[in-house]
Amino acid sequence: MELEFQEYRVRKIVNVHRHVDGPRFWTKYSAHPYVGCRSGCEFCYLRGGRYLGKRDPNTFDTQIQVKTNAVESLGRELAHLPPDVITCGDWQQPAEDRFRLSRGMLGVVRELGFPLFVIERSPLVTRDLDLLVDINRRAWVGVVFSLSHVDPALKQIFEPRSPGTKRRLQAMEQIAQAGILVGAALMPILPGIGDDDQHLDEALRAIHEHGAKFVLAGGLTMAGVQAERTLAAARRLDPRLETGWREFYQWAENGKPNYGPSRAYAARLGLRVRELGARHGLLDRMPRYIAPGPLAVNKRVAEQLFLKTYELELDQAHDQRIWAFRKAAWTVDESQDSVARLYAARGEAGLRELPGIGMTIAAEIARWLRDYGENG
Ligand code: SF4
């Protein structure tokens, strides 16, 4: 397969997310030096959606756009942003061997003292372990390796060119041994063929044995070209799987599938991964990095509020309730006024002055503050 590198300059490289990505990766910023991915996994959600812009989705794995000024843009933009967790770099392709932009970007993150989050399918990230260790010493680093399963037969069908699972696990171990927080993203878990206890348990045991502290589970999405290709791969494995997935995603003939599995399925899967993960000593959420400072208490309370949204999702609670906690998490996370100070000054009435914080949530926050010894 021909691989074409298309070099260009960007005006801006940092995406500033409106809200922190809790309770999953906890990132505020993201910056990536390449567009497209040589691994070309059939189920890659980047094939669908807005990632490729106006590009033909079928060029996703053959044409790699290279942001040649990624390093200088990152330095210029981060210099004007308050430090917070940034997802940075792309190691999963030959472009990084040649252009080394991810390494350059890590250098900037280190110099400016930002905490870093990395999510990868490639062991090449260990090439830059020296920088990761340094950033971890100055601020914080969390690394997540993506793997959908540890089944070679499924890998061959759905991600034949992605780096080998064993190599990913070895890289995970190397990073853990360097004292860096490591976890795994079981994403996407393939319905009907990768979501049974045996597949899940094998994957969880392997990641635990290689130093992971937590696991994040995610179902398979279906959109546009990604959906067509994923379904074609399923057909190659077993034509009955195609029929099963059409039903699972309520994929009408000539129509569109649902984007993701049902809430009930997602909740069952989340609970199962939690239960099996606990047997291996794995958390099912990534602990949040919180920088010291007067607003650290807000971040801790926001973490609890975000975690509560996940609990409610697992309980299949009413949407309205989930949204109430999510909005409260955003409010507290982004408030420039310390919730500990508000509580100390006026009790729960002080907390209720914040937008979207009603009686129930104020009482929960007050309880956490008392647990932290932050009750004035
Ligand atoms: S390695 Fe990751 S980014 Fe690349 S195609 Fe596979 S899932 Fe997508």
Pairing label, strands 15-16, 29-31 = antiparallel
Nearest ligand 1 atom to the CA of 90 is: 3
Residue type (1 letter), 33: P
pLDDT digits (tens, 9 = 90+) for 9-27: 999 999 999 999 999 999 9
The residue contributing the CA closest to ligand 1 atom 7 is 44
Q: Is the CB of 39 under 6 A from ligand 1?
A: yes
Chosen CATH of 4-279 out of 3.20.20.70, 3.30.390.30, 1.20.200.10, 3.30.300.30 = 3.20.20.70
Q: Residue ranges per domain, the chain?
A: 4-279, 296-371
**In whole angstroms, how large is the CA radius of gyration of the chain?**
21
Alpha helices in 81-223 (DSSP H): 94-99, 101-112, 129-138, 152-158, 165-177, 197-209
Three-state SS string over 40-79 comes to: CCCCCHHHCCCCCCCCCHHHCCCEEEEECCHHHHHHHHHC
Give the pLDDT confidence of 302-336 residue by residue, as tens digits.
999 999 999 999 999 999 999 999 999 999 999 99
Average of per-residue pLDDT across 196-218: 98
Which of 3, 34, 43, 46 for a ligand 1 pocket mutation test, highest count of atoms within 8 Å of Cβ? 46
Ligand 1 within 6 A of CB of 126: no
pTM of the model: 0.95
Give the ligand 1 atom nearest the CA of 61.
5
Which residues, in sequence order, are bridge partners of residue 88?
Answer: 31
Q: 296-371 falls under which CATH superfamily? A: DNA polymerase beta, N-terminal domain-like (1.10.150.110)
More confident residue, 3 or 284: 284
Distance 37 CA to ligand 1 centre (A): 6
Mean pLDDT of the chain: 95
Mutate to test the pocket of ligand 1, among 39, 63, 156 (most ligand atoms within 8 A of CB): 39
pLDDT tens digit sequence for 159-175: 999 999 999 999 999 99
Which of 34, 92, 220, when mutated, tests ligand 1's pocket best, judged by the most ligand atoms within 8 Å of its CB?
A: 92
Does the beta carbon of 59 lie inside 6 Å of ligand 1?
no
Of the candidates 12, 56, 61, the one whose C-alpha atom is nearest the C-alpha of residue 36 is 61
pLDDT bucket at 375, cuts 50 / 70 / 90: low
- Report percent pLDDT > 90 for the chain: 91
Beta-sheet strands, E only, within the chain: 4-8, 15-16, 29-31, 34-35, 63-67, 86-88, 116-120, 141-146, 181-189, 214-219
Using CA atoms, how far residue 216 sits from 39, 163, 247, 277, in Å, is: 22, 20, 26, 10
